[in-house]
Amino acid sequence: MHPAVAVGLVFGGCCSNVVFLELLARQFPGCGNIVTFSQFLFIALEGFIFEANFGRKRPAIPIRNYFIMVAMFFTVSVVNNYALNLNIAMPLHMIGAGSLIASMALGIIILKKRYSVSKYSSIALVSLGIFTCTFMSAKQVASDSSSDQEDGPQAFLWWLLGIAALTFALLMSARMGIFQETLYKKFGKHSKEALFYNHALPLPGFLLLAPNIYQHAVLFSQSELFQVPVIGLTLPIMWFYLLMNVITQYVCIRGVFILTTECTSLTVTLVVTLRKFVSLIFSILYFQNPFTGWHWLGTAFVFVGTLLYTELWHSLGSLLRGRGRPKEQ
Side chain identity at residue 25, one-letter code: A
Residues paired with 235 in a beta bridge: 226
Q: What is the pLDDT of residue 55?
A: 85
Residue 235 CA from chain centroid, whole number: 28
The answer to the question of residue 286 being in a domain is no
The answer to the question of residue 218 being in a domain is yes
Task: Burial-class residue 274 by CB neighbours within 10 Å (0-12, 13-18, 19+).
Answer: middle
> CA-CA distance, 89 to 166, in Å (whole number)?
12
Q: Which of 72, 10, 71 is nearest to 249 (CA)?
A: 10
The answer to the question of residue 278 being in a domain is no
The answer to the question of residue 32 being in a domain is yes
Q: What is the pLDDT of residue 172?
A: 78
What ranges make up the beta strands (E) of the chain?
A: 225-227, 234-236
The answer to the question of residue 126 being in a domain is no
Strands 234-236 and 225-227, sheet pairing = antiparallel
The answer to the question of residue 324 being in a domain is no
Cα three-residue angle 43-66-18, rounded to 5 degrees: 35
pLDDT digits (tens, 9 = 90+) for 151-204: 566 777 777 787 777 778 777 777 777 787 788 778 887 878 888 998 899 899
Range of the domain at 64: 8-114+142-262
pLDDT digits (tens, 9 = 90+) for 292-313: 788 788 778 877 877 776 666 6
**pTM of the full predicted structure?**
0.69
The answer to the question of residue 310 being in a domain is no
> CA-CA distance, 273 to 270, in Å (whole number)?
5
Exposure letters 155-173 (e unless 16+ CB within 10 A, then b): ebeebebbbebbeebbbbb
> CA-CA distance, 166 to 150, in Å (whole number)?
26
The answer to the question of residue 123 being in a domain is no
The domain total for the chain is 1
Q: What is the pLDDT of residue 142?
A: 55
> CA-CA distance, 33 to 70, in Å (whole number)?
16
Mean pLDDT of 250-258: 82
